[in-house]
Structure 1
Amino acid sequence: MEATPTFAGIDWSWRHHALCVVDDAGRRIEEGTVTHSRAGLVKISMLLRRHGVSRVGIERGDGPVVEHLLRDGFEVVVISARQVRSLRARYGAAGNKDDRFDAFVLADALRTDAGRWAVVQPDSAETVALRMLVRARHDLIDHRIAVHNQLLAVLQHNFPGAIGLFSQLDIPISLTFLRRFPSEAKAAWLSELRMAHWLKANHYSGRHAPARLVRHLREAAVGRVTGAAAEASEVIVLTLVDLLSTLREEQDHLETRIEEALLAHPDGPIFQSLPRAGTVRAATLLAEIGDCRARFPDPASLAAAAGVAPSTRQSGKHLNVAYRRGCNKQLRAALIDWAQDTPRANAWARDTYDRARARGCRHPHAARILAQNWTRILWRCWHDHQPYNPDLHGRLNDLQKTAA
């Protein structure tokens, strides 16, 4: 005897998940709430298998719940929050927000309109590989910053003259200097002539004259260690310098691999066409958004996943608009990092940002507003497999002509 078809819906959050399973007549045969934890996700899979569910409806196509369901072999269908709000009207005029009821709406929508919704596909191997490279680079930068700060702390205590000698502490010329002169005692050997010779031998291309650099060393505060402690400080400085040099080299290597992966990716031209995207930004946006168009069925779902759209809760006359904390943090960082730089190259972006600041928004808020506006254009380019073109995407071209 053939099994009766069943359908499931999950209304998920970063604290708990509401689950509903309905049969082919729309009757609720399982309903409940589980915590957002490893045990909770395992329980969801167990309940779905118990009732023979193969397809699950959900409002967002990213996040740990979707990843878990895909790993466990379930088909995931994204029904956006806007569509769910419209579907609520089928079951009553109140339109109130309730997690368990929304889970039922999602499940019943799969039952009645199965052909309307696209099934989320796992990202391609190329996208997964690019995401691994991008996130590894991000972690490497975090490590480099930590080592940089450790070196800075050692120099502040033992060799203050090395701080501010060059534009940055971890650039090649600065690291080369510290490898040759890791302490005040060794740097004291430098005269103006010797500094000039050292700079020439190491191909220094900066604008500071040898006399200024030597004066900086002489006028700096005196370190606080001598004797054996000074020798220990030298060892620490040399160790941290070698570590920083290695991290910089590995970062350069990763960025080369990221560029190779981006150029080979079918969606690479879309993200590289965005103003001020460059290579690393374009690769990061692509890696975090992915290549499954069903994951984000509309621009609003992409903005919500990226955390650049505010979280709105309304009940009756009460309306609460708050900063969205539950999101893909890597995607939010990538999107805002890119968006806040676009006013330098795009008149529409400059106008959008300036108007937000004129309304009293601080820079982080204005940057999120701009990022949310960019998601509409980014989503359209991505969804249509079309590189960014001001003539095709909004009113940007007209504003650029006006600005010119």
Structure 2
Amino acid sequence: MSPLSDQQFAAYVGIDWADTKHDVRLQAAGDTRREFSCVPHQVACIDEWAKGLHQRFDGPIAVALELARGPIVSALQKYDFFVLFPVNPSILATYREAFKPSRAKDDPTDAELALDLLLCHPERFAPLRPQSAGMRCLMSLIEQRREMVGDKTRFTNRLCNTLKQYYPQALEWFEHIDTVPFCDFITRWPTLPAVKHAHRSTLETFFHAHNCRRPRLIETRLESIRSATSLTEDPGIVSPCRLHALALVAQLRAALAAIDVFDREIATVARTLPDFALFECLPGAGPHLTPRLLAAFGEQRERFRHAAELQKYSGIAPVTERSGKKCWVHWRWQSPKFLRQTFVEWAGHTIDKSFWAGAYYRQQRAKGSSYQAAVRALAFKWIRILYRCWQTGTRYDESIYLNALRKRGSPLLGSLALPASKRLTD
């Protein structure tokens, strides 16, 4: 879709959204007067307001708002006469501060400033064009799964802290506590006296039922249980901590079950999308990162004109600031954090899965880069490669890329001997 400056609209609207109401500034095309209104966040009220504008102007209406998605966006997307133009909140905040150095803020004023930006700088904004329902579903599932993982981490940390208050031995007996076996263990034996009174055969049966069959490990655990001494026997500590631990275990168990459900649904939805095969073959992607990389690129190939735009948008490309004789390079502070994390995590996984990626990482480390800096630099290179594959619909082939590096005389391969499986021929 063409930018705002190339389109004709019957009216222009700026909206400052909120949970309960939305402040609106309206200006008809060819008119300088502006109207103010406030629309309650109720389906009937939004519908009445939208249909009223359509009857009044009978043409496309440009709408500027600070969201690319959300309840108000979903509500307005139902009407084909609205063309939505997302405005970055930081841009609007800086624009507001230019006229109000005191940083005074008011919702109707923000609606008017959004309208100003839309009218005064039309070349800066592109209309919101939603991706397919399948891609949007995948993106939401991935982000919601990430929130579930965050919940799991919080429950795990709180459970660990609670057990340290009265039952620290349980943490020593299991390598990972964010697992169903650990939850089952604490649910069955929430205190040290309870597990010490359990029969040896009962404990062995429990461990066998949870796929722990190594005799030495089981014997070590049983010996540790027999010789364990309570940290405290104070009922004022043990009783509330026991209840707290059981409550956290229930929450952790629910989070683990929810993550499994999300994983299955993500795998199902991802396989229905056309570009799934492009990302499934990537080294180190696996079942979790493949859908995340697929969602990171999306399906709108005109969204990024070249790889540098994606590198900047994702926060992988560094920022250079120059003033006089000073030059400062730092990473981007404003970027989609989850998107950046996706590329960085995957780049880290490719170090042991891709020959050139491992060589490049070790090269960066040899130059003195920290682990995070080296992985970000690797992610920077990977984005350029994936962008090319994504644009052409070509699956990544390690041998083809290594051959291209050799033909260009890349210093990355100059002093490195290829393994037998990667040796190249013209």
**Would you say 1:73 and 2:83 are equivalent positions?**
yes
Structure 1 CA distance, aligned partners of 2:24 and 2:311?
Answer: 27
Q: Are the structure 2 counterparts of residues 308 and 109 from structure 1 closer, same or farther at C-alpha, using a change threshold of 3 Å?
A: closer
Shift of 1:66: 6.3
CA offset digits 1:274-327 (Å, max 9, x no partner): 111112211112223321112211010011111111012345654332211111
**Would you say 1:243 and 2:259 are equivalent positions?**
no
Structure 1 CA distance, aligned partners of 2:322 and 2:384?
Answer: 24
Structure 2 CA distance, aligned partners of 1:120 and 1:178?
Answer: 50
The answer to whether the 8 Å contact 1:120/1:294 transfers is: no
Counterparts of 1:353-368 in structure 2, within 5 Å, are 353-368=361-376
The answer to whether the 8 Å contact 2:354/2:398 transfers is: no
**Would you say 1:372 and 2:364 are equivalent positions?**
no
Shift of 1:397: 7.8
**Would you say 1:258 and 2:266 are equivalent positions?**
yes
**Would you say 1:336 and 2:344 are equivalent positions?**
yes
Secondary structure of the residue aligned to 1:264 is: coil
**Would you say 1:128 and 2:139 are equivalent positions?**
no
Determine the structure 2 residue equivalent to 1:115. Answer: none
Determine the structure 1 residue equivalent to 2:329. Answer: 321
Q: Are the structure 2 counterparts of residues 348 and 120 from structure 1 closer, same or farther at C-alpha, using a change threshold of 3 Å?
A: farther
Q: Are the structure 2 counterparts of residues 203 and 354 from structure 1 closer, same or farther at C-alpha, using a change threshold of 3 Å?
A: closer
Counterpart amino acid of residue 321 in structure 1: V
Secondary structure of the residue aligned to 1:326 is: coil
CA offset digits 1:21-55 (Å, max 9, x no partner): 9xxxxxxxxxxxx9xx869xx99986796789x89
- Tell me the TM-score normalized by structure 1: 0.71
CA offset digits 1:361-401 (Å, max 9, x no partner): 10011111000000001111111222212355465786698
Determine the structure 2 residue equivalent to 1:403. Answer: 419
Shift of 1:249: 1.2
Counterpart amino acid of residue 299 in structure 1: A
Determine the structure 2 residue equivalent to 1:230. Answer: 238
Q: Cα RMSD over matched residues? A: 4.2
Secondary structure of the residue aligned to 1:179 is: helix
Determine the structure 1 residue equivalent to 2:225. Answer: 217
State the number of aligned residues: 339
Determine the structure 1 residue equivalent to 2:204. Answer: 196
Structure 2 CA distance, aligned partners of 1:390 and 1:167?
Answer: 36
Q: Are the structure 2 counterparts of residues 43 and 257 from structure 1 closer, same or farther at C-alpha, using a change threshold of 3 Å?
A: same
The answer to whether the 8 Å contact 1:162/1:217 transfers is: no
Of residues 362-371 and 391-400 in structure 1, the stretch that sits farther from structure 2 once superposed is 391-400
Determine the structure 2 residue equivalent to 1:387. Answer: 395
The answer to whether the 8 Å contact 2:152/2:178 transfers is: no
**Structure number with higher relative contact order (C-alpha < 8 Å, ≥ 6 residues apart):** 1
Determine the structure 1 residue equivalent to 2:284. Answer: 276
Secondary structure of the residue aligned to 1:230 is: helix
CA offset digits 1:341-375 (Å, max 9, x no partner): 10111111011111111111100111110000000
Shift of 1:220: 4.6
Counterpart amino acid of residue 389 in structure 1: D
Structure 1 CA distance, aligned partners of 2:283 and 2:156?
Answer: 31
CA offset digits 1:101-132 (Å, max 9, x no partner): xx99x86799xxxxxxx987422111110011
Determine the structure 2 residue equivalent to 1:187. Answer: 195
Unmatched segments (≥5 aa) in structure 1: 1-5, 10-20, 22-33, 57-62, 77-102, 111-117
Structure 1 CA distance, aligned partners of 2:371 and 2:258?
Answer: 33
Of residues 237-246 and 358-367 in structure 1, the stretch that sits farther from structure 2 once superposed is 237-246
Counterpart amino acid of residue 312 in structure 1: T
Shift of 1:169: 1.2
The answer to whether the 8 Å contact 2:156/2:177 transfers is: yes
Structure 2 CA distance, aligned partners of 1:109 and 1:189?
Answer: 71
The answer to whether the 8 Å contact 2:319/2:332 transfers is: yes
Unmatched segments (≥5 aa) in structure 2: 8-13, 32-56, 87-117, 407-412, 421-426
Secondary structure of the residue aligned to 1:340 is: helix
Counterpart amino acid of residue 73 in structure 1: V
The answer to whether the 8 Å contact 2:139/2:295 transfers is: yes
- Tell me the TM-score normalized by structure 2: 0.67
Structure 2 CA distance, aligned partners of 1:327 and 1:48?
Answer: 35
Secondary structure of the residue aligned to 2:327 is: strand
Structure 2 CA distance, aligned partners of 1:66 and 1:247?
Answer: 28
Structure 1 CA distance, aligned partners of 2:248 and 2:123?
Answer: 60
**Identity across matched positions, percent:** 24
Structure 1 CA distance, aligned partners of 2:172 and 2:404?
Answer: 42
The answer to whether the 8 Å contact 2:191/2:242 transfers is: yes
Counterparts of 1:283-294 in structure 2, within 5 Å, are 283-294=291-302
Determine the structure 1 residue equivalent to 2:184. Answer: 176
1:150 to 150, 158, 170: 158
Structure 2 CA distance, aligned partners of 1:402 and 1:137?
Answer: 39
Secondary structure of the residue aligned to 1:73 is: strand
Counterparts of 1:8-47 in structure 2, within 5 Å, are 8=5
Shift of 1:137: 0.6
Q: Are the structure 2 counterparts of residues 220 and 309 from structure 1 closer, same or farther at C-alpha, using a change threshold of 3 Å?
A: farther
Shift of 1:232: 3.5
